[in-house]
Structure formats: C-alpha cells, structure tokens
Amino acid sequence: MKLSPRSRLVLIGDSVTDCDRARPVGEGDPDALGHGYVAEIAALLMAVYPARSIRVTNMGISANTVRDLAARWDADVLALKPDWLSVMIGINDVWRHFDPVRQAEAVPPEEFARTYDGLLIRTRAQLKGLVLMTPYYIEPSSIDALRQRMNEYVAIVKQLAMEHDAICVDTQAAFDRALVHHESAVFSADHVHPNRIGHMILARAFLNAVGFTWSAPDRRP
C-alpha cells in the first residue's frame, strides 16, 4: 500500500466528506471522523494495516465549493502538514448552477480549474502523495442536464491529477458501475449525499487507488 507507516492523511471537501465530523479538527476518536467515507477509510486502514498507524484527519465542511477551500486552505491544509492529502470538491460548484436561490454561488468551469490548480501548485511539493477524488452525480441518464455538467468538472479533476502527479479516484465511474444494477435511490436519496452503501463505494474506490489489499503483508496476529 502506498500510505507509509505513521503517515498523516488529511481529507478535505464538502458535506460528503464532512458528515458531522468533529470541530475544529476531525481526528482521534472514531466518532470525530464523522459517519461517512472518511470514517470507513480510517476503520479499514486500522483493521487491516494496524502496524502502519495511519493518522486520518477529516477537514470537510458542508456546502463548500472550491472558493471556500481556497479561503481556508492555509489553516485547514497547510498548517496541518499532511503527508498525504485527499481532495474531493466540485459537487456544490456544479449544483449551484441549478439552484435558483443560490445560483450566484455557482463556480464556472474555468474558475473551478484555475482555483483548484492554484491550490495544488502551492501544496504538491510538500506532500508525499496527493489523491484527487472526482465529484459525481448519482444519476445514470447521460442526457440529464446536471449529470452532463458534472461530467465537465470530472474531466477537469482528471486533468489536474495528471498535471500534478496525483492519484485520481474516479468516483463517478465507481457509482456508474453500481448503477448498472440498482437505481440511484439505493445509494442516495438526492443523487448527491450518499447513504452507508454509497459511502462504502467511495471508501472502496479510494482504498483501491492507494493499493489497499485485504491480504496486507504487514498484518500481525
């Protein structure tokens, strides 16, 4: 697995990452990590790789866009000095385009790419590893307007991952594989906020990307 012993893994994002994590920093007690994919990742890392003692920190904040990440990046990322950083942002940047009440908060693709890129430029050299998780919309229809717009932002994140030597977790593809067999309601009530099954899909996609294996070579009796 790519995460080395005693690494600090910081995960930052919006409500999908937040999931009622502790404030100001979500770490330590398992409940402090919230009830979503971050907690699932931490639990599986400790259960299967106990010798590595990976320190997991949840810095998600509900309703965030990439603009909000930029405003808090120094305090919530750089000051924590992560060895590994995982970023999942973009859902609200897209969602706001379709929300007549909050449409002014929508982040256009060009601004999304520019702002995201600037954050990674400032940070990449300080990290041992970087993981970019794409945004997603749990909707199988290729003609759905929000899904089509989300695909644009997924492509941006994939491009940024290539440019910054990051591991890309295609969360949209992970949900699409599940949607072949079940309707979106099985994974989320609103196409965005996952239930426990949806969060496990995200956790599994992340862990697969960093080389997690159930037959961990450093397991101890």
Q: What CA–CA distance (Å, rounded) separates 184 from 136?
A: 12
Catalytic residue among 15, 86, 184, 188: 15
Catalytic residue among 31, 144, 190, 218: 190
Tens of pLDDT, residues 66-87: 999 999 999 999 999 999 999 9
Q: Does residue 175 lie within any of the structural domains?
A: yes
CB 1 within 8 A of CB 209: no
Verify whether residue 35 is a known catalytic residue: no
Domain total in the chain: 1
Q: Does residue 188 lie within any of the structural domains?
A: yes
Q: Does residue 1 lie within any of the structural domains?
A: no
Whether the pLDDT of residue 220 is over 80: the answer is: no
Percent of the chain topping pLDDT 90: 91
Q: Does residue 2 lie within any of the structural domains?
A: no
Q: What pLDDT does 216 receive?
A: 65
Q: Does residue 96 lie within any of the structural domains?
A: yes
Tens of pLDDT, residues 85-110: 999 999 999 999 998 888 888 999 99
Residue range of the domain that includes 187: 8-209
Catalytic residue among 86, 184, 191, 193: 193
For the chain, give the mean pLDDT: 95
Q: What pLDDT does 221 receive?
A: 38
Tens of pLDDT, residues 117-168: 999 999 999 999 999 999 999 999 989 999 999 999 999 999 999 999 999 9
Q: What pLDDT does 218 receive?
A: 55
Verify whether residue 184 is a known catalytic residue: no
The residue that leads in pLDDT, 216 or 48, is 48
Q: Does residue 216 lie within any of the structural domains?
A: no
Q: What pLDDT does 173 receive?
A: 97
Q: What CA–CA distance (Å, rounded) separates 43 from 201?
A: 14
Q: Which CATH number covers residue 173?
A: 3.40.50.1110
Tens of pLDDT, residues 39-65: 999 999 999 999 999 999 999 999 999
Verify whether residue 7 is a known catalytic residue: no
Q: Does residue 63 lie within any of the structural domains?
A: yes
Q: What pLDDT does 217 receive?
A: 62
Q: Does residue 217 lie within any of the structural domains?
A: no
Percent of the chain topping pLDDT 70: 97
Q: What pLDDT does 215 receive?
A: 80
CB 166 within 8 A of CB 131: yes
